[in-house]
Amino acid sequence: MAEDGGAIIGKLLASRGVRQLFTLCGGHISPILVGAEANGIQVVDVREEVNAVFAADAVARMTGTPGVAAVTAGPGVTNTITAVKNAQLAQSPLIVFGGAAATLLKGRGSLQDIDQLSVMESVTKWAVSVKKVRSLAPTVEKAFELAQEGVPGPVFIEVPIDLLYSEEMVRDMFMKEVSAGAGKSLGSKALELYMRGHLYRQFNQPHVSIVPPVRDSLPPKPTTRSPHVQKVASLLREAERPALVIGSQALVNTQSPEAIADAVNALGIPTWLGGMARGLLGRYSDIQFRHKRSAALKEADLVIVAGFPFDFRLGYGRSISSRATLIAANLSASEMRKNRRPEIPIHMHAGEFLEELAGAAGDGLGRWSGWFDTLRARELEREEEIVEQSKTPTDLVNPLDLFQRIEEKMSDDAVLVVDGGDFVATASYILRPRKPLSWLDPGVFGTLGVGGGFAVGASLVRPGKEVWLIYGDGSCAYSIAEMDTCVRHGLAPIAVIGTDGSWAQIAREQVPMLGTDVGTVLNRNAYHEVAEGYGAAGLLLDDPARIDAVLDEAKALAATGKPVVINVHIAKTEFRKGSISM
């Protein structure tokens, strides 16, 4: 008997190294879940479809293998839009399967039948509907290639329900529909004949290649002998105040980031890391800086931006001195030139460029001791300011003090997931990722709600390791239900919710600018009790004297395999006064 569509998809995913399939069940996609499970893939069912895609995104970022999600038709697909768009802007390779009405019933008012391709086309690299069983495998193969080539991103594959079940089952289903209440009229016989022909073609007609839309293609990969790479190496030897900024894209499709870290260390340039590049150089590094980046970029005479766009995070390129020689390496030719045109554009994978540059530069670099002294003095000054502010006594918990304690207690292999505004931004000044590919933030889209899905994905990629989820009390409500997913699948992240009863990042600017806190006020809810309702451990921390004890208890509970939510009642601070989130 021929394999059904679900079995075909399951076998192909396994051959591509997929270890998890994230989903929320639905009749349109059940055979995909069964086929995945039969091929040794762990099926992880979440509580909302958007979190299935967030979890798949986390897997893609941390492993270099495209993450995979399957959702049911109609609202199942539309519920993923935010996560798919977030992945597109973060340049994460994903495969999203969407169920659909049977091919013969499209546009006829079937349950959950909408034009899904028009919805998904603008947020993916390719949105395609499969029409024949024999097209399933080649379409999925093409999707994996497209998701990873050039600028990585998500691909959407619509799979009608009648391609997923066995030919016999589908034929019986349709023939019963035709014969139900029908006589032996000529019209009925003609309809039956048409449907038999349609089903035969659907299950037996050969695949005809579908050409995906043309995307950015990369030129031949530069080598250490490339004139561009040699030119950058020469400029680096002559530079007096070089600076290196590395962004998430330097690590996309990367399964072994150690070679990139070795290259950065060999270059020895003062380095700032952003996004998924955080942690590339470990917890501590003599060449990494975390503060005063804008001041350094204004003084630098040579700036290398690797896998980081000239967007709002770099002042649209204006943060970099106009007198500096600017080099940019990026997979996207358009992104590399947006807002600021570099003197030397390098159109390639930024991580691979750094490896080639280190090989071309060789020995003789690192004559920048005075420049390093200046930068380290500023770094130390800012660190001392943060420590001093963390000592400010408060009735509730000082968030700076909390993060200082978490920083000391996190394990050496911990993963950090961040989902929030003011509380998370404060954390980013203090918490240090321990290893490469151990920091997960939404990326340039600034999406709230990534936390639950990201934590599920990260916990599966790093089983038995500490996963710390830093939540704002606003953002936690988007996905705290995924504690139920964690309990059911034996995952044990530690979620820390900074509860101040406010959308603080918005209120911080809205109140002084517009004179009202309208729309920004929350309750100090019992989120720890909500977590207990889902089967997780819930801890309340509202006394600064108990910070160490509660963190130690959370670590001990997580070590037993139980997810934990710490509801921390934090005091308001002026640490980020003047920050703007527009």
Q: pLDDT tens digit string along 299-325?
A: 999 999 999 989 888 888 899 999 999
Which pLDDT score, from 0 to 100, does residue 65 have?
94
As a whole number, mean pLDDT of residues 51-58 equals 98
Which pLDDT score, from 0 to 100, does residue 581 have?
56
- What percent of the chain is modeled with pLDDT above 70? 87
Judge whether residue 44 has pLDDT over 60.
yes
Q: Domains in the chain and their CATH numbers?
A: 5-204 (3.40.50.970), 227-375 (3.40.50.1220), 391-569 (3.40.50.970)
Determine which of 125-134, 357-366, 403-412, 449-458 has the lowest per-residue pLDDT on average.
357-366
Nearest Cα to Cα of residue 291 among 120, 432, 494: 432
Determine which of 150-154, 225-229, 233-237, 267-271 has the lowest per-residue pLDDT on average.
225-229
Alpha-carbon gap, residue 283 to 365, rounded angstroms: 24
Which pLDDT score, from 0 to 100, does residue 81 have?
97
At 406, list the tokens: 């978490």
Judge whether residue 532 has pLDDT over 80.
yes
Nearest Cα to Cα of residue 64 among 209, 248, 284, 302: 248
Which pLDDT score, from 0 to 100, does residue 295 have?
94
258 confidence band (pLDDT: 50, 70, 90): very high
The 3-state DSSP composition of the chain as helix, strand, coil percent (nearest 5) reads: 45, 15, 40
Strand-pair category, 325-330 with 344-347: parallel
Residue with tokens 């705290």: 480
Chain-centre distance for alpha carbon 361: 33
Nearest Cα to Cα of residue 50 among 78, 31, 30: 78
Which pLDDT score, from 0 to 100, does residue 3 have?
82
Q: What is the pTM of this model?
A: 0.92
Judge whether residue 538 has pLDDT over 90.
yes
pLDDT in tens, 185-221: 665 566 566 666 666 676 666 676 776 766 666 666 6
Which pLDDT score, from 0 to 100, does residue 452 have?
97
